[in-house]
Amino acid sequence: MDFLFVMDPVESMLPDKDTTFAFMRGAQARGHRCWFCFPYQVFAVSCAVASDATEVRVSDAAPHTTTGITRELRLSDLDVVFVRKDPPFDAQYLHLTQLLDLVSKSTLIVNSPRGLRDANEKLFALQFAEYIPRTLVTSSPTRIQEFLREIGGEGVLKPLDGAGGFGVVLLRLDDPNLSALIDLETLEGRQPALLQEYLPAVKGGDKRVLVLDGKILGAIRRVPRGNDIRANIHVGGTVEPAELNEVERDLVNAVGGVLRNSGLWFAGLDLIGERLIEINVTSPTGIQQLSKHLGRPVEQEVIAWAEAKKQTVCDR
C-alpha cells in the first residue's frame, strides 16, 4: 500500500517521541511505502486531487529520515492519507480538508476532512457537558472575571486554536496580572477564549487516552514539570503508565461512539480527575510513549486497522 502523510517538515520529527514517525515506522514494518507532503503541495485539476509528494523512510538509527524521489501523485491512487499537520486550524488547513473531501470515497483519510472541520479541539468537548469541568467560552473580559468568581477564584484560560500547551495560563482573582492576561488571550475583548475551573488533580498529571475507531488503545499519564500546570510532553511533561478506572472508561466509550460516527478515527482525549478536558483530533500524540509502557509497537495496530478499514469505507 501507499501511505501519504500531510504534515510539517520531516526534519522536525523526534524519532523517539513523534507519533507521525511511529506511524511511518509501523507502515514500513508492514511492507508499505511512505510519502510526505506539506498542505500547500496538495492541489486539484478540476476534481482530480494530487500532490507533489516525496518518498520517505525512517529509522531508529541515524540518519532517522531518508528522503527519495519527489513526484506528482493522484490521491485517488493512494490507499491511506494521514493528516498530521499540527494546529492551528487556519485557512490553509480548511482548504486542505475541502480538497481531501474530493477523494474520501476512494482513499482512506485519517482523520475525516469533514470531522476535522467540525471538531475544534477545545469546543468539541462541549458536546459532552456531563463529562467536562465548568466551562466558559467568551471574548468578554468582564464575563471571564465574573465566571472566575463563580468557580472559586481559580481557572485555566486557553486560546481556542492552540496546541501543545501554548497560551494556557492559570488565572487567579488576586493576581495583579489578571486583567493583562485576559486582554492578551482575548485581544482586548475581540477574540474568544476558553476558561475552565481549575482541577487540583492536575498536580498529579493528566491522562492522555488514545482512541482508534471509537475504541480505547490505551492511556498514559503526563505529569507537569515543577510548578507548571501544563502536562504536555511538548513543554516538558514526563510520562508514566496509566490505567483507566470504570468512570473513565465509560466516559471514553461514550465519546468514542461520537468520534467514530464523525470519522475521527484516531484521537487523543485528555482527562483530569475523571473529567474530559480536550479532544485532540488534528495531530494526536503519545503513541510512542504508550508503546513503551505496553511493550509492543502500538503503531502497527493502527496501520493494521488502516489496511482493513481502507477495504470497508472506500469504493474503488
Range of the domain at 213: 201-302
Q: Which residues contact 152 (CB under 8 A, 6 or more apart)?
A: 197, 198
Domain endpoint, select from 179, 198, 217: 198
Same domain, 108 and 11: yes
Tell me what pLDDT residue 234 has: 61
C-alpha span between 147 and 178 (Å, rounded): 13
Q: Does residue 219 lie within any of the structural domains?
A: yes
Q: From CA 219, how far away is CA 240, in angstroms rounded?
A: 9
Cα–Cα distance for residue pair 217/290, rounded to 1 Å: 9
11-37: burial string, b at 16+ Cβ within 10 Å, e else = eebebebbbbbbbbbbbbeeebbbbbb
Asked if 309 is an active-site residue, the reply is: no
Which residue of the set 85, 221, 230, 275 is catalytic?
A: 230
Is 122 one of the catalytic residues?
Answer: yes
Same domain, 74 and 108: yes
The enclosing domain of 291 has a CATH number of 3.30.470.20
**Distance of CA 244 to CAs 203, 208, 221, 251, Å?**
18, 10, 10, 10
Whether residue 138 lies inside any domain: the answer is: yes
The pLDDT, as a whole number, for residue 155 is 96
Question: Are 225 and 294 contained in the same domain?
Answer: yes
Task: Tell whether 187 and 232 lie within a shared domain.
Answer: no
Is residue 15 one of the residues assigned to a domain? yes
Active site residue 278: yes
| Phi, psi angles (nearest 5°) of residue 113 | -55, -40
pLDDT at 316: 47
Tell whether 106 and 143 lie within a shared domain.
no
Q: Which of 25, 221, 222, 310 is catalytic?
A: 222
**Residue 118 covered by a domain:** no
Q: Which helix (H) or strand (E) holds 44?
A: strand 42-45
Same domain membership, residue 78 and residue 8: yes
- Domain identity same for 79 and 156: no
Candidates 84, 85, 122, 207; catalytic one: 122
- CATH number of the domain that 30 lies in? 3.40.50.20
Last-in-domain residue among 82, 113, 144? 113
pLDDT in tens, the chain (316 residues): 999 999 999 999 999 999 999 999 999 999 999 999 999 999 999 989 999 999 999 999 999 999 999 999 999 999 999 999 998 888 999 999 999 999 999 999 999 999 999 999 899 999 999 999 999 999 999 999 999 999 999 999 999 987 777 889 999 999 999 999 999 999 999 999 999 999 999 888 899 999 999 999 999 999 877 666 665 666 667 889 999 999 999 999 999 999 999 999 999 999 999 999 999 999 999 999 999 999 999 999 999 999 999 988 765 4
Q: Are residues 219 and 279 located together in one domain of the fold?
A: yes
- Do 233 and 138 lie in one domain? The reply is no
Query: Which position among 207, 280, 299, 310 bears the catalytic label?
Result: 280
Tell whether 216 and 194 lie within a shared domain: no
pLDDT in the model for residue 233: 62
Of 79, 185, 213, 278, which one is the catalytic site residue?
278
Q: Which residues pair with 223 in a beta bridge?
A: 238
- Catalytic residue, from 25, 84, 85, 208: name it: 208
Residue 310 belongs to a domain: no
Query: Domain for residue 165, yes or no?
Result: yes
H or E segment at 42? Answer: strand 42-45
Closest by CA to 222, choosing from 299, 236, 210, is: 236
74 shares its domain with 103: yes
Identify whether 208 is a catalytic site residue.
Answer: yes
Instruction: Answer whether residue 313 is part of any domain.
Output: no
Give the Cα separation of 183 and 172 in Å (integer): 14
Number of domains, the chain: 3
